[in-house]
Structure 1
Amino acid sequence: MGLFLPALYLGGVLMSLPAGWLTDRLGVRLTLALGQALTGAMVVLASLTSSLPLLLACLVVGGFGFSAGNPATGKAVIEWFPPRERGVAMGIKQTGLTLGGIGAALALPPLALALGWRDALALAGASSLVCAIVVAIAYRTPVGGGGAPPAAWPRLAELGGFLRRPGVLVLFGCGLALSMAQSSLLAYLVLYAKESFAISAVAAGQLLALAQAGGTASRLAWGWISDRFFGGRRRPGVVVTALLGAAAYVAFALGPSLPGPLIAVLVLVAGAGAFGWVGLYFALVAEIGGARYAGLLTGVAVAFAWSGVLVGPPLYGLALEATGSYAPPWLGLAAMAVLVAAALARLQPLVQRGAS
């Protein structure tokens, strides 16, 4: 079971760049519908196989479709919303992933107990197929928002023009680092809380839910703040959320010596820092690409971010096993978050604010 999610994300990393390119070539509706359909079909097939290698192969291919979600929805935000509204729009978009996770966490375990894990997995795949049909029927491109003629379609070779900009590479690297911190918090917060504070698994799970709630609120709040008070600039919010996360990770390194009343507050702050940057990050990446390249650049950003999801928790676990203490991995995440904040604060502007 522990291999299921990594297999899906591995497929997403492998396909994220082509998925971004396809989004710019084919448009939001077709790319998103095809991606949802492929993911749903592969998850249903995975539920039917009795071979673990074949099941994992289905999930990797399903990840190919999963990779289309971020580039397509990011491009949709660029097409539908003016710059002064994109922060909130992207925050709402990214919150959808969190709400979907909460819904799955509430629905799938009871279904698995009642029907078996295979039927529960098949129902999850079927829901993706239904979403594909809804997108294909209901989504509409705004007038003037897409439909570029073939001569204007982006080419993969044009990606080099962006990758030769040091600031863009720094931004992608920061996405990798912040994703490592985010996924490590998700993977280890429950275990850390149980072992450090001698609380039950239920109470530790509630702390994880609190962290996700803080992240959801932070995504929405910072999207609104960047639109309303920073003139559409996204980097200040990413810098602040990185520093919030760093402060919480340093406090976590204190372990059992933390005052009990502060634990919930620190978890809330950690969630705001670990999850709050995502909408701003993808809004900035899409704005760098503009309407023509939003999908392509978002695909690259997804590859970096999801690579962080794959490597962050294992590295945290290695540090924990090597030292026998939670302090070194938490301090490592804090140092990484501070470096991200410093690097982003020093960058020159990446987007011409007069352009879309």
Structure 2
Amino acid sequence: MMFLGQFWAVLLMVMIGGFGYGSMHPVTNRGIIYWFSLKQRGTAMGIKQMGVTAGAALAGLILLPLGAEYGWRPVLFSACILLLGSGCLSYLVYRDSPEQQETKPAGLVAFYKSMFKMLKNKALMLVSFSAMGLNGSQMCLNTYLVIFAYEKLGFSLFLSGILLVISEVSGSLGRLAWGMISDFLFKGNRVVILLIITVLTAVSSVTLAFIPNVSFGTMAPIVVIFGFCVSGFNGIWMNLASELVPREQTGISSGISITLGSIGAVLIPPLYGYSVDQTSSFTFGWLLISGMMAVVLLMLGYLTVVNKRKH
């Protein structure tokens, strides 16, 4: 990207980079499923997923100021070198578990059979469509929080940006904390955690929908709870999508669930923006998130019923 000047070429590179980023989750999820027991995976997955939001926060704190000082091209190049270095280090240090090494790779026909079988897995589809709503809500918070705080609440751009940092840091902590809560308090029950997260997200978005002009000190704790929940659900989602199938199929199940869940991140933020543009108010945008959480709550409730039938 640093050598290119045409928008279409940069967009093409972003798409190619997206293929690389998207393949990271199924591979790492599979490793965690093999290396950790049921009551350890939530914490392990939370640590892994915390890297995503922690990396985003570090990029905002380090790369943006450096980009403003030296230009985005050399800073992006430096980030690429760091990425290559971390990838090589992981390759040299990481080893598959003995059980995973014994697993023979399936052929292409077996892969497609497994994939279509996953699409018929009712529990996995319910988890994936629930993640679609939560993912979209997370992107709405990340995309519109600064604009909302600046235009609606009248905060300075600096304080509005600080709210976004607070949200990202809270999400990072949430990914680890929800995993530990799932492991140690609920003995590996992931659905209960997703239900709690969904309810708290709905309450937070309703609060923002009807909040008057408040101080930064009042707004910050609301953003902490919102970010802790809607940006902290990913680890639990990855756990659940991986644990619903046999271990040798966790890569496929993770890939399918992430593909479906990511659709929400693409489609829902434009709907939020459209509702704000049409009504000239953020109220309906935040209520859109609350409405989606109601739908997610119904799907997770049905998932609980499906899981009970299986057992």
Fold conserved (TM > 0.5)?
A: yes
In the alignment, the residues of structure 1 paired with residue 161 and residue 271 of structure 2 have an alpha-carbon distance, to the nearest angstrom, of 22
Number of residues paired by the alignment? Answer: 309
> Alignment partner for residue 346 of structure 1, among 283, 302, 306?
302
Over 3 Å counting, the alpha-carbon distance change for 1:101 and 1:353 in structure 2 is farther
Contact kept? 2:30, 2:251, Cα under 8 Å: yes
Give the partner amino acid of 1:58: M
Query: Once the 2 structures are TM-superposed, how far is the Cα of residue 110 of structure 1 from its aligned partner?
Result: 2.8
In the alignment, the residues of structure 2 paired with residue 352 and residue 84 of structure 1 have an alpha-carbon distance, to the nearest angstrom, of 22
Over 3 Å counting, the alpha-carbon distance change for 1:260 and 1:125 in structure 2 is closer
> Alignment partner for residue 302 of structure 1, among 233, 240, 258?
258
Over 3 Å counting, the alpha-carbon distance change for 1:147 and 1:52 in structure 2 is farther
3-state DSSP class of the match of 1:248?
Answer: helix
* C-alpha distance after superposition, 1:49-85 (max 9, x if no partner): 2222112112211211111111111111111111110
**Higher mean C-alpha deviation, range 148-157 or range 344-353:** 344-353
- The aligned counterpart of 1:55 is 10
In the alignment, the residues of structure 1 paired with residue 164 and residue 47 of structure 2 have an alpha-carbon distance, to the nearest angstrom, of 20
In the alignment, the residues of structure 1 paired with residue 79 and residue 256 of structure 2 have an alpha-carbon distance, to the nearest angstrom, of 27
* Pairing of 1:98-113 with structure 2 (within 5 A): 98-113=53-68
**Higher mean C-alpha deviation, range 188-197 or range 140-149:** 140-149
- The aligned counterpart of 2:134 is 178
Task: Find out whether 1:323 has 2:279 as its counterpart.
Answer: yes
In the alignment, the residues of structure 1 paired with residue 66 and residue 232 of structure 2 have an alpha-carbon distance, to the nearest angstrom, of 31
Task: Find out whether 1:210 has 2:166 as its counterpart.
Answer: yes
- The aligned counterpart of 2:121 is 165
Give the partner amino acid of 1:155: F
> Alignment partner for residue 95 of structure 2, among 118, 140, 165?
140
3-state DSSP class of the match of 1:47?
Answer: coil
* Pairing of 1:111-260 with structure 2 (within 5 A): 111-150=66-105, 155-257=111-213
3-state DSSP class of the match of 1:48?
Answer: coil
Task: Find out whether 1:290 has 2:246 as its counterpart.
Answer: yes
- TM-score with structure 1 setting the length: 0.81
Percent identity between the aligned chains? 29
In the alignment, the residues of structure 2 paired with residue 168 and residue 315 of structure 1 have an alpha-carbon distance, to the nearest angstrom, of 26
In the alignment, the residues of structure 1 paired with residue 307 and residue 94 of structure 2 have an alpha-carbon distance, to the nearest angstrom, of 30
Query: Once the 2 structures are TM-superposed, how far is the Cα of residue 151 of structure 1 from its aligned partner?
Result: 5.1
- The aligned counterpart of 1:274 is 230
* C-alpha distance after superposition, 1:221-275 (max 9, x if no partner): 2111111122211011111011111001001011435576532221111112211
Give the partner amino acid of 2:234: V
- The aligned counterpart of 1:312 is 268
Contact kept? 1:168, 1:350, Cα under 8 Å: no
In the alignment, the residues of structure 2 paired with residue 308 and residue 181 of structure 1 have an alpha-carbon distance, to the nearest angstrom, of 8
**Higher mean C-alpha deviation, range 77-86 or range 166-175:** 166-175
Query: Once the 2 structures are TM-superposed, how far is the Cα of residue 126 of structure 1 from its aligned partner?
Result: 1.8
Give the partner amino acid of 1:323: T
Over 3 Å counting, the alpha-carbon distance change for 1:87 and 1:261 in structure 2 is same
Greater RCO structure (CA 8 Å; 6+ sep): 2
Give the partner amino acid of 2:114: E
Task: Find out whether 1:75 has 2:35 as its counterpart.
Answer: no
Contact kept? 1:77, 1:86, Cα under 8 Å: yes
In the alignment, the residues of structure 1 paired with residue 11 and residue 302 of structure 2 have an alpha-carbon distance, to the nearest angstrom, of 42
**Higher mean C-alpha deviation, range 93-102 or range 48-57:** 48-57
3-state DSSP class of the match of 2:165?
Answer: helix
Over 3 Å counting, the alpha-carbon distance change for 1:257 and 1:117 in structure 2 is closer
3-state DSSP class of the match of 1:144?
Answer: helix
Over the aligned positions, Cα root-mean-square deviation in angstroms equals 2.1
**Unaligned runs of at least 5 residues, structure 2:** none
In the alignment, the residues of structure 2 paired with residue 150 and residue 107 of structure 1 have an alpha-carbon distance, to the nearest angstrom, of 41
In the alignment, the residues of structure 1 paired with residue 117 and residue 189 of structure 2 have an alpha-carbon distance, to the nearest angstrom, of 22
